[in-house]
Amino acid sequence: MRRKILSIAAAGVTAVLMTLGACADNSNPAPATPTPTSPPATSPQTPSGSIPTYPGATVTSRTDGTTVLHSGDSVSKVGSFYVDTLAREGWKTVSKYQGQFSANIVAKRGKEGVTVQASPTGSGTSISISKYPLG
């Protein structure tokens, strides 16, 4: 149990660092609106499926197991979407915090875990989705 908690906490820290990196000053920033060359908004893929992408969000970065999105909607609206959608898709919430300035949801389903974090940016909300194996 302690190993699972540490694994979930490590994934949460990784997601926070990914979100902060996406918000850092970048001399060649990603476009704020989708263009024909923008990658389609997809979710982290695993053999058992994917995490739903927030409607209308654009991908700002992607690495193995983690996708960072941008939405013009509020943190509160994004957080509520993921709480409801993950529950509907069979994910069990392990921990959740929803506030005006941040949302953090950790959930598990079978031998998989997911951490969804939403934080405000100057032009909307940054959404970090990290999916990882459990034990």
Give residue-wise pLDDT tens across range 43-59. Answer: 444 333 488 899 999 99
Instruction: Parse the chain into domains and list their residue ranges.
Output: 2-24+52-133
- Fold of the domain spanning 2-24+52-133: TATA-Binding Protein (3.30.310)
Global confidence as pTM: 0.66
C-alpha to C-alpha distance for 130 and 43, rounded to whole angstroms: 9
Q: Give the helix ranges, DSSP H, for 2-74.
A: 2-23
Chain length of the chain: 135
**Portion of the chain with pLDDT greater than 70, in percent:** 64
Task: Compute the distance between CA of residue 25 and CA of residue 59 in angstroms, rounded to an integer.
Answer: 17
Judge whether residue 9 has pLDDT over 70: no
pLDDT at 8: 54
Mean pLDDT for the stretch of residues 61-69: 94
Distance CA 76, CA 84 (A): 12
